[in-house]
Structure 1
Amino acid sequence: MNLVLYNLFPDRLNLYGDRGNVVALQKRCEWRGIQLTIVDIKSTNDMNLSSVDIICIGGGSDREQGLITKELLKIKKEFQLGVEDGISCLAICGGYQLLGSFYVTSEGTKHMGMEICDFHSIAREDRQVGNILIDTKEFGRVVGFENHSGRTYHPYQPLGKVIKGYGNNGEDGTEGLIYHNVIGTYLHGPILPKNPAITDHIIAAAIERKYGKKELIALDDALEYETKQQAEKICLTLQRG
């Protein structure tokens, strides 16, 4: 089996080790004998969404996010069609915000989003920073690190409920978003190495879309889950924020 992954603008959207998400996907495919071709996208001119299976969008500063938005709006309709067709997508922080209708910076600058989903994000002066732990239906407990001034509000299925930390906005107790095969989240860290169930979900969804439903070969995740458990303990023992 062969899959193609687009890593969007890794030179601009790679805060807090988000490249590690691509590495996690690569290794868990490799260990199963699945060939994953990774393409670093630096211009939308290099994108062919009809041939991609997984898209990763990392986090970036407000400035970088504004520049990337202009690029992504060039392929907005194609991106929307791809999501509706079931492309797997992991969008982190600024990448998550880009899935919505618009994002307003703390200075009041409004950046239009790709309108994959009908939601918006608004930044405030204070940042929501720290280790975060959430409870999810699909993946059990999920751990990560958040550092964002944006507050996101949406009516869609969240990735999970906040146990410790802030999440989407620090108000409604939710974190992230799930829409078709898209996962949007504020969790850096990066999120995938410590949460292999999410990694496998992304791979499995991409394989099902391309080849039909197939069971993934089980891996020995003892080290990953030990790391995750330690991260959970640290998160629960620290003060919020």
Structure 2
Amino acid sequence: MEYVSNHASKGTIRVLQLYPRDMNIYGDWGNALVLQQRIRWHGYTPELLEYNVDDEFPDDVDIILGGGGQDSGQLIIQDDLQARGPMLRDMAEDGTPMLVICGLYQLFGRFFKTSSGTIIPGIGILDVETHGSSERLIGNVTLDSPEFGEVLGYENHSGQTTLGPSVRPLGMVSKGAGNNSKDGHEGARYRNVVASYLHGSLLPKNPAIADFLIRTAAERKYGTFLPGHPDDGFAMLAREHAARRPR
């Protein structure tokens, strides 16, 4: 159903999903749909775009989203991502809000070394590295984030990611594994980039992260953010159910 507002739009916010054809697993496209709806609730006009291998990269993008994929999907996009890497690094350094999940979290780092020894180079936005392993980290996750409070999601990955000194974790895991099976970190934060292994998808259960991306985009583009009145009823219900689930 088409959304119709009785009020004038506060402006347009353009959301770009990277490689949805090859990097869109476990419902990651839901993150784009949540942003689309919450942008409307805040009184802005969403414009939802996508970029796949060999497409023309759109101008004036306000929020970048990236999802997860199999190793085969990462191999498909790696050359194109490397070509776009300098531009994406400049955007990240300039403060563009970004959310990257699982596979693109790995490729926004320095490299991903698969369990077979193949090295897929990353684009170096994040000071992280990932090594494939025989151990699969799978199940429900709860983490404590200093920025976003309790974050809930679902992980399913065999990559073991470690953080370098120039990034900080999204949060510390209280249930689940997180980036790896050792240090209790989940995700990474750098400037306005949020990276995480949490699928499910992430934003429907974590509106605070969605609103961070929207607020940051609006402030960068328009100088201020004028919040609306989002309906968080379903998000809170989803959080209650997710929190009760076992690992």
**Could you tell me the TM-score, scaled by structure 1's length?**
0.94
Distance 1:78 1:186 in 2: 24
Alpha-carbon separation, structure 2, partners of 1:80 and 1:100: 11
Could you list the structure 1 runs, at least 4 aligned residues long, displaced by more than 2 angstroms after superposition: none
Residue 221 of structure 1 corresponds to which residue in structure 2? 232
Q: Deviations over 1:4-57 (max 9, x none)?
A: 111111111111000000000001112222111111111354114x51111111
Separation (CA, whole Å) in 2 of partners of 1:24 and 1:165? 24
CA shift digits 1:52-92 (9 cap, x unpaired): 11111100000111221211100111111110011111100
The answer to whether 1:71 aligns with 2:71 is no
Larger fraction in helix: 1
Percent of matched pairs sharing the same residue? 41
In the TM superposition, residue 117 of structure 1 has moved relative to its aligned partner by 2.1
Note if contact 1:133-1:162 (Cα within 8 Å) is conserved in structure 2.
yes
Following superposition of structure 1 onto structure 2, how do residues 96-175 of structure 1 map, counting pairs within 5 Å? Answer: 96-155=105-164, 156-175=167-186
Tell me if structure 1 keeps the 8 A contact 2:101–2:195: yes
Paired residue for 2:97? 88
- After superposition, what is the alpha-carbon deviation per residue over 1:176-230, rounded to whole angstroms, capped at 9, x for unaligned? 0111110000000000001111111110011111111323123231221121022
Aligned residue number for residue 203 of structure 1: 214
Pick from 15, 22, 34 the counterpart of residue 24 of structure 1: 34
For 2:206 and 2:226, locate their aligned partners in 1 and report how far apart those are by CA, in whole Å: 19
Secondary structure at 1:201 match in 2: helix
- Kindly indicate whether residue 209 of structure 2 is the aligned counterpart of residue 189 of structure 1: no
Distance verdict in 2 for CA 1:84–1:44, change over 3 Å = farther
Deviation at 1:125, TM superposition (A): 1.2
What RMSD, in angstroms, separates the aligned Cα atoms of the two structures? 1.2
CA shift for structure 1 position 139: 1.2
Match of residue 176, structure 1, among 159, 176, 187 = 187
Matches of 1:39 and 1:191, distance apart in 2 = 19
Structure 2 unaligned runs (5+)?
1-10
Q: Unpaired runs of 5+ in structure 1?
A: none
Matched, 1:43 2:46: no
In the alignment, the residues of structure 2 paired with residue 94 and residue 102 of structure 1 have an alpha-carbon distance, to the nearest angstrom, of: 11
Secondary structure in 2 aligned to 1:122? Answer: strand
